Amino acid sequence: MKMIIFFGIALVVLLTACGRGEPSVYVPIAQDVEPIANELAIDSPPIMQIPQPPITQTEFYVYVPQAQFSPFVEYWLGQLTLEEKIGQLIMPRLPWQTTSVGQVEAWLEAVPFGGFILFSDNVQSIEQVQQLTTGLQAQARLPLLISTDEEGGRVSRVGRLFGGATPAAFDIGANAYDYGRENARRLLELGINMNLAPVADVWSNPANAVIGNRAFGHEAEAASLNVVATVEGLQSGGVIATLKHFPGHGDTYEDSHYQLAFHNHGVARFWEVESIPFTRGLWAGAKAVMTGHISTPYVSGHTALLPWMEPWIESGNLPATFSDFWLQDVLRGIMGFNGVIITDGLEMRALTDHFTCGQIALGAFLAGADILLIPANPVEAFDALLAGYHAGYFDMERLDESVARILELKEPFQ
């Protein structure tokens, strides 16, 4: 009993110690739960119940689980410690302007991270990036997922090393497969094995600047063609493709880098528009899906997985990153996806303005995420997950589900 009390206290301390949220496990309703920069949500009609999708379930991609894990997955599930398994869930960015492993050796010894994301400030030359990624891999007990955002256009982290970025998604036209394949060649040459692309959002709101021409089109069916081609190009070239930003960022006004974004439609609209590029991308075999920090005030069905979620659900403002409805009922359930769910950057102000990093890390994992991308404080996020396990918020079976999915992604790179 003393041990349970100790871990319960430790979890509360961790949930309140990090990030820029309120110094409490609960989010103050008066300050944080009123609709944020979103007048439409204030006068919204009653929250809609969940209708059936307008197409039959057999038309969706259906994942057929393996009868048993591969020897690689089975071996590492048995070998990894609890701490190493939790470390597999966290993909931080390297500290600002880190260009060599020597700059972060002490940090890497603190937590056995499962992967890293590279940004432009980590990139100087082809040889330098190769040395960096090789050095990172040498520090790890098993293969790392090393990712970046190489969409093309204005979101290009490494394109300048090869004479320039590929065009923006909206301008690619019929060449999406070739560009995907070329991006895969470039990334693998650098030691990067995961691309956080393609964008599967539909640019249905012309005023949406954060997505804009990062999307392949204004219409769902047209955008889907190039989502599929890009997935096939990347993955035929040996790089993991990631569909983003589920359940759809293309119709929002707000930029989730700076504030919570709102999708002001019911779930029926999702099946008619936003779901289509994601569904087609899953058919094409995309191995990962990224969540968006997007609130859906006209949609119900979320569970309060932690006490602080309750007022956010009641207000309609709960971000999809924390929603078991979106990640488990829809993405894993109806759409049948059993690949890796990775969050969008957890340091984005859509979350950190309202929640601590402990709340963010544990809430996203409980909702169904497998990889937590860029926690504001990776070490404290790790500690919150470890304390959450010991306090009984999740068990080894749940942890192994995510770790097994991550290991399946890593197996080709052993």
User: Is the omega angle on the peptide bond into residue 247 within 30 degrees of 0, that is, cis?
Assistant: yes
Distances (CA, A) of 320 to 55, 74, 200, 289: 23, 31, 16, 13
Q: In angstroms, what CA-CA distances link 106 with 82, 139, 381?
A: 21, 11, 18
333 φ/ψ sector (left φ>0, alpha ψ -120 to 50, else beta): alpha
SS3 338: coil
User: Catalytic one among 344, 354, 370, 383?
Assistant: 344
* CA dihedral over 15, 18, 19, 22, signed as positive or negative: positive
- Cβ atoms of residues 364 and 372 within 8 Å: yes
Q: Burial code of 2-22, b = ≥16 C-beta within 10 A, e = fewer? A: eeeeebeebbeebbbebbebb
Q: Which helix (H) or strand (E) holds 6?
A: helix 2-17
**Going by DSSP bridges, is the β-strand pair 288-291/340-342 parallel, antiparallel, or unpaired?**
parallel
Q: Of 405, 232, 385, 256, which is closest to residue 332 (Cα–Cα)?
A: 405
Residue 123: name the closest of 168, 169, 166, 156 by CA.
Answer: 156
Q: Which residue out of 257, 329, 390, 400 is catalytically annotated?
A: 257
CA dist 216 → 271, 275, 299, 378 (Å)? 18, 14, 26, 33
Distance, in Å, from the CA atom of 227 to the CA atom of 30, rounded to the nearest integer, reads: 41
CA 194, 208, 96, 89 dihedral sign is negative
Q: Enumerate residues 6+ apart whose C-beta is below 8 A from 121.
A: 96, 97, 98
257 an active-site residue? yes
Just list the catalytic residues: 257, 344
